[in-house]
Amino acid sequence: MIARLSGILIEKTPPQVVVDCNGVGYECEVPMSTFYNLPATGEKVVLLTQFIVREDAQLLYGFGSEQERATFRQLLKVNGIGAKSALAILSGLSIDDLVQAVALQEPGLLTKVPGIGKKTAERLLLELKDKFSIDGGTVSATGGQAKSASGDVLNALLALGYNEREALAAVKQLPADVAVAEGIKLSLKSLSKT
């Protein structure tokens, strides 16, 4: 298995890149989050990779961080999600937004990704529920109290008229063990500053 590429970036055409590793050019697809952080062509680059062998193709996917690759691998385990869909999710959402959507069981963010419908979003939320934590890790879920407190704070902010993006951003800044009442106060304070 090819786990990592280190070489010279010789081509950049979204979502594909070509990395020259000692005279061998490896073509791989990368999520847009990785693509935007790549150096200019002709410069050295290091990509973590996932090699996928199918009946009709051998595909290489590249990532700028271990967290992106781990999230990609986790998405591939979801029934009905292939490599293209997983790449689209990583390109359309930040990992923090994905973790937040899963932790709060909020399909609205996922359905904004092209190719992800309501049923697929609900399946993703169900199958990833215990795989992500609210603090951005990809190993285990946060305790139920923190999840419900964050969810309650989010629902309160939405009920007060804040849009989903503002409310999620405010909830993301809260400490993990915050109580609902304190979370609402802190969120309102941070939203009033923007």
pTM recorded for the entire structure: 0.69
CA distance 157 to 179: 15
Show pLDDT as tens, one digit a residue, over the chain (194 residues): 889 999 999 999 999 999 999 999 999 999 999 999 999 999 999 999 999 998 999 999 999 999 999 999 999 999 889 999 999 999 999 888 888 888 888 898 899 999 899 999 999 998 998 776 544 333 333 334 444 577 778 878 888 888 877 888 888 888 877 888 888 888 888 888 76
- Nearest Cα residue to 71 out of 56, 45, 92: 92
3-state secondary structure of 45: strand
pLDDT value of position 194: 62
CA distance 67 to 70: 5
Residue ranges in 38-140 assigned as alpha helix (H): 66-76, 83-92, 95-103, 107-110, 118-128
- Nearest Cα residue to 98 out of 153, 168, 37: 168
Q: What are phi and psi of 193, to 5 degrees?
A: -80, -20
3-state secondary structure of 30: coil
Sign of CA dihedral 111, 115, 116, 119: positive
